[in-house]
Structure 1
Amino acid sequence: MHDAVPQPTDAETSDGEGPGSLAVRRAAEGFTGFVDAVTAGTIEAPLPGGGRTATRFDVLSAVAEDDLCVARLAEGHLDAVAILAELDGDPVAPGQRWGVWAAEPPGSGLTATRGPDGWVLNGLKRYCSGAHSCTNALVTATAEDGRRLFAVRTGSPEAEPGARGCRPVPGTWQAIGMAGSDSPDVRFTDVPATAVGGVEAYVRRPGFHHGGVGVAACWYGGARAVARVLFTRAEQRADPFTDAHAGAVDLRLYTAGTVLRRAAEEIDLDPLDKAEAAGLRALRVRALVAQVCSEVLDQVGRATGAGPLCHDERHARAVADLSVYVRQHHAERDLEALGRLVARGPEESR
């Protein structure tokens, strides 16, 4: 039996924050449908590095082109499946929907302590996508011996605030773009957890970088969604300026798609990263796709004006969602990391 998608309470509106908001419900329903389809085998999502990484990226791009918020949740679930396989964790069971909650912005964060009954987590975790729809999550937390990854069962709907469990913090996800990704802060109080891998295993495994390219595949799908209105306009009218804009956008999308396919081929050729090229590859791909997204957002906006943003809800949502999602690229910080790798190699960049 699958866990039910949260339904709105009388106090929740169709356009506000919370598990009953329209955006969150729509994304949760799409997420559940995606996971069910993967479980049933009607959608194939191969593990990265197994010879069919391009298929994995194509699936993520296709979901993102339809709905970026669903793609954010789907990408987290598929990433969790890959992480558990790579670090010898228990496999995902039918009916489970997983997230990967590993953001570590400044702040107190999450701590892990080991007691007589095993690990427990306490503290606040930010940007927990799918906080109301995930049944399980992989979360990073700081233990006495360093940063570790843990598997947890999410939620404690019957508990009072302050009781044992992990609970989304109301009012901490005020986003317009990516609203449906449902990414509030989550408060952990004595949450039982299972360690997955050793200290720093989450970031030191080759799949960490392969997963980063998977996120770029979602951005690429979002850029295609934004471009849709421009290509439709070019088909419907003979106008040299519209054609020029469409040509410029097609060139950018072609470049991003080609780079993603090349990255998939390289991952399949060296899944364990024996050449120590995975970090460099991920930084390059993410930077290029992020740049393409920014250029597509700008070019489509200049070509089509305010009309689609004001009268086409699907297009307006795609623009808002992509503008937020692509900010997972850390701009000059990531470019600095890329430049350091190019200049001094992987050893000196660690």
Structure 2
Amino acid sequence: MNGIPTSHYPLPVRISSGAAALDSIRPLLCEAHAAVGDVPALLDLAKTAAATAPKPGDGRTAFLWEILASVTAVDVAAGRVLEPQLDAVAILAQAGDKAAQDGGDFPDPDGADFEGTWGVFAAEAPGLRLEARESAGGWILEGSKPWCSLAAQLDHAVLTAHLGNGGRAAFAVDLHAHGVSFANPEWTSRGLREIPSGTVHFEAVPAVPLGGAGWYYQRPGFAWGGMGVAACWLGGAVAVARSFTASLRQAADGGREPDQIALAHLGEIDRTLAALTAYLAGTAARIDAGELSDRGAWTEALRVRGSVAAAVERIQTLVSQNLGPAPLAFDERYGKRMADLALYIRQHHAMRDDAQLGTLTLAGSHPW
């Protein structure tokens, strides 16, 4: 593709797949590399990739996570664009399956109504509230939704809204519909600069309900999607580790052998990534085997996300301590990756998620 030899494509991130499957990712990685910083191109790439990428639980979950990790290893922002597109496609498919099981009717997720680019917006913020009410003509959205990444450049979104009975439900919405407006985000972040997250306002905007009250959070796919985000974080950590390894080799080629501290840190990074990829491989296999197909899947998601987030921060610290300020000051790709990744993993709620996991552990939800 693009006249570039296969051997020169960016390297995929392996979780458990064989060489042939990983080789099939390489053209996508080459396209992602060429599109770095070009958000419309990244959105087109995500839309194309979603047409053929597996869905979680369909038997190739590890390969799905390898796609996410590998694209993020090329560029963290590229992975941040790809992940919600794949997640939205999976959510729509799960909502269709739910409707079929309940004997209801749901638009074809592969039909014209759902073509285009997608976001997934489920965050909340003080002072902002999105409400859904049922009218004679269907469901209507009123209010505001925060943290809507790239909303003004997307076609559709899966989002959550509050119901009159106090619960929440998910809806699919056309972001080009009358009544949708976008606040200009005051995005001052140095990380993920090309992916601003702002507030979207809705005024009597029609929406398609997905799965009913509470379904969005109760479905196992919520946990599977959360682990897919962790796969992206893993890909970012692999990229940091690869750049560190390359810098040590380059220094050695120039006559400056790495000292024992650098080697010890590289060894820690190696065993950390080896343990994480093995953990994700096992978890993906359990998802595909139907072992994580109930609400208990969220317990495993908390373990996966917490383990990966902690490893990312540790790897960033080790590499930054060893390489010092120079690459942060003078290496654009390195500095961008570190800033992008530092912001991206803040989607993990750190000790609050650990407290939630501790509550589940205390109730007896643990394998040890």
Normalised by the length of structure 2, the TM-score is 0.80
**In structure 2, how many angstroms separate the alpha carbons of the residues matched to 1:32 and 1:77?**
10
Q: Which is worse superposed, 91-100 or 186-195?
A: 91-100
How far residue 92 of structure 1 moved from its aligned partner, in angstroms, is 4.1
Structure 2 residue aligned with 1:285: 304
How has the CA–CA distance of structure 1 residues 342 and 188 changed in structure 2, closer, same or farther, with 3 Å as cutoff?
same
How far residue 243 of structure 1 moved from its aligned partner, in angstroms, is 2.5
Query: Would you say 1:77 and 2:85 are equivalent positions?
Result: yes
1:309–1:315 contact (8 Å) kept in structure 2: yes
**In structure 1, how many angstroms separate the alpha carbons of the residues matched to 2:186 and 2:137?**
32
Query: Would you say 1:55 and 2:63 are equivalent positions?
Result: yes
Query: Would you say 1:176 and 2:190 are equivalent positions?
Result: yes
Structure 2 residue aligned with 1:265: 285
**In structure 1, how many angstroms separate the alpha carbons of the residues matched to 2:281 and 2:59?**
12
**In structure 2, how many angstroms separate the alpha carbons of the residues matched to 1:124 and 1:258?**
41
- 1:277-313: CA deviations, max 9, x gaps? 3111101000000000110110010010111111111
Instruction: Report matched runs for 1:54-203 at 5 Å.
Output: 54-88=62-96, 89=106, 90-93=108-111, 95-145=115-165, 146-155=167-176, 164-203=178-217
1:165–1:189 contact (8 Å) kept in structure 2: yes
Structure 2 residue aligned with 1:35: 47
How far residue 178 of structure 1 moved from its aligned partner, in angstroms, is 1.6
Amino acid at match of 1:326: I
Q: Which is worse superposed, 132-141 or 211-220?
A: 132-141
RMSD, matched Cα: 2.0
**In structure 2, how many angstroms separate the alpha carbons of the residues matched to 1:104 and 1:239?**
47
**In structure 2, how many angstroms separate the alpha carbons of the residues matched to 1:187 and 1:67?**
30
2:36–2:78 contact (8 Å) kept in structure 1: no
Amino acid at match of 1:61: A
**In structure 2, how many angstroms separate the alpha carbons of the residues matched to 1:167 and 1:176?**
25
The runs of 5 or more residues in structure 1 that have no matched partner are 1-22, 157-163
Corresponding pairs, count: 312
How far residue 247 of structure 1 moved from its aligned partner, in angstroms, is 1.7
How far residue 112 of structure 1 moved from its aligned partner, in angstroms, is 1.0
How far residue 234 of structure 1 moved from its aligned partner, in angstroms, is 1.9
How has the CA–CA distance of structure 1 residues 38 and 171 changed in structure 2, closer, same or farther, with 3 Å as cutoff?
closer
Amino acid at match of 2:317: D
1:297–1:319 contact (8 Å) kept in structure 2: yes
Structure 2 residue aligned with 1:12: none
Q: Which is worse superposed, 100-109 or 30-39?
A: 30-39
How far residue 100 of structure 1 moved from its aligned partner, in angstroms, is 0.7
SS of residue matched to 2:57: coil
Structure 1 residue aligned with 2:16: none
Structure 1 residue aligned with 2:8: none
Task: Determine what percentage of the aligned residue pairs are the same residue.
Answer: 40
1:123–1:189 contact (8 Å) kept in structure 2: yes
Amino acid at match of 2:126: P
1:49–1:267 contact (8 Å) kept in structure 2: yes
**In structure 2, how many angstroms separate the alpha carbons of the residues matched to 1:234 and 1:34?**
34
Query: Would you say 1:242 and 2:259 are equivalent positions?
Result: no
SS of residue matched to 1:51: coil
Structure 2 residue aligned with 1:332: 351
Q: Which is worse superposed, 141-150 or 284-293?
A: 141-150
How far residue 167 of structure 1 moved from its aligned partner, in angstroms, is 2.1
Structure 2 residue aligned with 1:4: none
2:46–2:81 contact (8 Å) kept in structure 1: no
**In structure 2, how many angstroms separate the alpha carbons of the residues matched to 1:302 and 1:257?**
24
